[in-house]
Amino acid sequence: MNVITLLLSATSQGMLWSLLAIGVYMTFRILDIADLTAEGSFPLGGGIAAIGIVNGIHPVLATLLAFGGGMLAGLVTGILNTKFKIPALLAGIITMTGLYSITSRVMGAPNIALLGESTIFTAAQDMGLTKNNAVILVGLLIVLLVILLLVLFFRTEIGLAVRATGDNPDMSEANGIKTENMKLVGYMISNGSIALSGALLAQNNGFADLNAGVGTIVIGLASIIIAEVLLHNKPILIRLITIVAGAIIYRFILALVFEMNVEPTDSKLASAIVLVICLSLPQIRSKFTLKTKKKGADTDATSLKNQ
């Protein structure tokens, strides 16, 4: 497989995975909460979309239902965390565990095949586009819509309150912001985006799997880390765009690794190694920056001494 084909495949996959990364970014970076609900809401989104499509629901409506299911999952985690005062990490684990059974009941089977069914990408393929190009086009439109809505949301009073809650909850509460409600909003948007990603990937892959959520949180974090290495301390619009780029880069790196004739039994190990490298990038960057600054300072000191 040549590099162009790999890049197209990575772009199509990365575009859909970026919605997961955006959802993870909402809780981990904006709210500063370690939320593990993602590993439950991701397969829930895929399961809702798949069962809806199989039962004759229009793919667009099935995808929107998946988004709504993810929001409900986030609401449950938010209530456990804010109302019942269960620590965020534990609340996410509880919801994630419960969602396994709920998704199993929704699907009625460990997996649902979508072969031969119309999906959200079918219309683009009917226009003569290849599978990858159709996924890239539809994925890009959905990602741009999500980014636009989020940017507009974060300019509203509620959106600014959500960001303030993540930055400094005590100060926000002192200024009259209902921080618990803002966390609920953040949880819901986050898991809605993650479930949306699960729904789109299920339609792209041609099946929904009950165990699809395993490791998704780390994939989201890897995409965010790559994005922050590319550009950091930028406005929210630029951050979200770089997260999309980070997801595509991560999928491209994985595709390159799997092109090296990796044994199927070693695929998880290869993915883990790639993740370690991606998550280590900030440390590598900071050390490189420090060395560059030190070298520059030494050069300036030498020049002063010679004068």
CA distance 282 to 246: 13
Q: What average pLDDT does this structure show over 104-119?
A: 95
pTM of the model: 0.91
Residue bearing the bigger pLDDT, 239 or 291: 239
* Residues 115-171 pLDDT 10s: 899 999 999 999 999 999 999 999 999 999 999 999 999 999 999 999 999 999 999
CB count within 10 Å of CB 74 equals: 32
CA distance 24 to 165: 17
* Residues 47-67 pLDDT 10s: 999 999 999 999 999 999 999
215 — pLDDT class (breaks 50, 70, 90): confident
